[in-house]
Structure 1
Amino acid sequence: MDTFAAFSLDMRTLNFVMILFSIIYCIGLLLFSQTQKSIKGLRVFALSLLVMGSGPLLISMRGVLPDWGSIVLANSLIAVSFQMIFHSMCRFRGVDTKYAHYFSWVIPVVVGLNLYYTYEFNSINSRVLVSAFSIGIVSLGAAVVVLNGKNKDYPVAVWMMTATLTCYGIFMLFRGVHTLNGPEIVSFMEADIVQKLAFLSSIFLIVSLSFSMLWMINARQVEAIYALSYFDPLTNLRNRRALDRHTDSLEGTSEKLTKKQCVIMLDIDRFKQINDRFGHVSGDQVIRSVAQQIKRTSGASKSIYRYGGDEFIVVLENQNLDRALSVAESMRQRVLRYAGIDGIERDISCSFGVAESQADESWDELVARADEALYLAKQKGRNCVQSASLESQWSTAV
């Protein structure tokens, strides 16, 4: 204890700082939530910080307010704030809020025991014990929720939030054991270093949880911007911009392909007639249906791009022409068999052009040869696969 004695902390100062932090972070997060209304749990979390700060505020008014306000209500508000944090973590991380409801028994227990240990058997130690164990249990439960959340958030931020709640919960349980085995506290504001550290750790909790949450929200926004920039909203395939970015990595400084590539180009047969006869809404549904089938066929959606309109391009790295022809034929058969929408009685089919990269060939040259093969497939009667190589052709006419 001599080491702790040298480490002086003023309880009233810590109390004031905690109140100040809870108010500032609450206001800041509430204002931020106005621009992030789609983020579930953010507003509840912000309000929980205000409720958390209200508890110490009422505790600091001991002697001014009656016991029901400065003791019972104060400790009850602190318990409610952690229940709100638990609830907000469930919503924020995509977990069913029923798990937060499982811990709702904590609040009436805390209220009842604080009433008893205030009016029937006045004991500061008992009240601290109730508060410490209840907060510790709820904090550890919230840590489990954060760690096992369904939302795909930034892993480092998730671990930071989990570690914060876990460490805080463990410390609160230690605080409870320490209080149970320690001497009777005469005045809470004059309590030992462990009780003072409870305020310091609460300040750290507010800062760390707020920072982690903002970190995850920012990561979600970056991911959303990336999705808008590089993914086609209709098919959820990568778009032309993503393809351009990918092909930049395939070409060296000489603008020649550095690895063997096979390209499959395809488009929907007589798509203009579908649009003219059935409308653009049906046309979009056909594009989406075809995209789903070719994605399921290839087994590698990262290599499929929507090239524009009803055209798609598949990039197969380190594959030979025979393999690319086989993949294209499997796609053709699957589209013919499974692609289609209600209201369009005609079969949906696609034509395919396949090309394998040659030595000292650029990406644009490779795509141009695949496009020529696709044009040849159209001339052959559509619904077939054609190779850009004269030596090896795979054709399946209607």
Structure 2
Amino acid sequence: MKVLVIGAGMGGLTLAQALRRNGIDVVVHERDQAVEATGGYRLHLNDPACAALRRHLAPGHYQALLASSAGPRTFTRFAVADHRMRLLFAEPNERASETLMIGRIPLRRLLAHGLGDALRLGSEFTGHRTHPDGTVTAHFAGGGTDRGDLLVGADGVGSRVARALAGRPTSLPAGVSGIAGRTPLTAGTRPLVPALLARGPALAFGPGGVGLFLTLHDPGSGTAVDPAACTQVAAIIEPPSLIWGVLAPDRAYPGRPRELDGAGLIRLTDSLLRGWSASVRALVRAADPATAAFFGFHAADPDADLTPWPAGAVTALGDAVHAMPPTGGMAAATAIRDADVLAEELFLVRDGESTIPLAVHRFQNRMATYAGEAVRTSTQPLRWIHRLATPAGTRASRIALPAFAAAARLGRTLTTLTITGTRGA
């Protein structure tokens, strides 16, 4: 059995590691010229994703992943705040479950480690053709081809594989876009960091439908494992920084933000945060322009059939199937879970206990039990942003957000953020 994977994202690379370790021939085709050539910042891996990586990576390999991640003390809760960085409510992180916070580039590099010639960089997929014998041929820019028994689209939002299968895009623009960047933690910037970030990430909301995600990446506070203990696979330690991402309705962005350079994006972010905490605005202005980027968010319909095609020699996983915005911190973890489920089904094919069409059918059915809920969770903050962006929502937020913050300071438990006129969100 030979499996062709299109896309070296977290799901595609996890699948390749799982199959390779279990004697299944696999090739990953990736259009990027280098593993490091990727956008994004820090990823949240939940307990199912961590359990999957423990199963499919060698112990020394997984140890390097732990050593490259922020320690558990950096994520003991998730906070929601107002635009002045006053706490509205907080959700504790369950200590019984394993959670990792790791940079996108270190994770991608680690998941690519050891794949050797099974990872084909600079290989751009253009289409595929299935054959009467059940095999499939993938076609690539420049005229190259590769033939296998199963083709898996792990090529993210705008997936060419999934679009060919579904006959349409599998996700649509969410109406909210973001600008994100990194601010180095220095003697000058550390005192500006909001105190509520010491215990974990925060998502803040302000008038006009503008939101801001903030998280600290500070290896100095301790990694999950001592990097010096990683003798088989080296840990990858990123410099300490504050990672921030502004969220706003598309109509809030003037002009053509995609055409701005890093410095222009930082100035635009500062203008969007007018009226916010002065310290937060100063932190944004201190960001490294080379790290600033604009992102348009997409989302799949969580109530639709996520895989509306017959089970056969071609399928897809991750954002190719169930695109979701980063506001839930679940996209990478869900893609890794997909890879774990598909690998488990393919092991049965290897052992003669299943067939590829049956394995794909079972994988797609199992994925449907959790992926839709992940999309719903991730899009909930976008609904808040859309409603806060209305004139009524803006007026209400000027009253409600300070009131919620005052209640939180008094120690009252807030479990639902409800803005006047938006009940039923």
Range into which the TM-score falls when normalised by the shorter chain? under 0.3
What is the TM-score with the length of structure 1 in the denominator?
0.23
The structure that is strand-richer by fraction is 2
Higher RCO (CA-CA < 8 Å; seq separation 6+): 2
What is the TM-score with the length of structure 2 in the denominator?
0.21
Structure possessing the higher radius of gyration over alpha carbons: 1
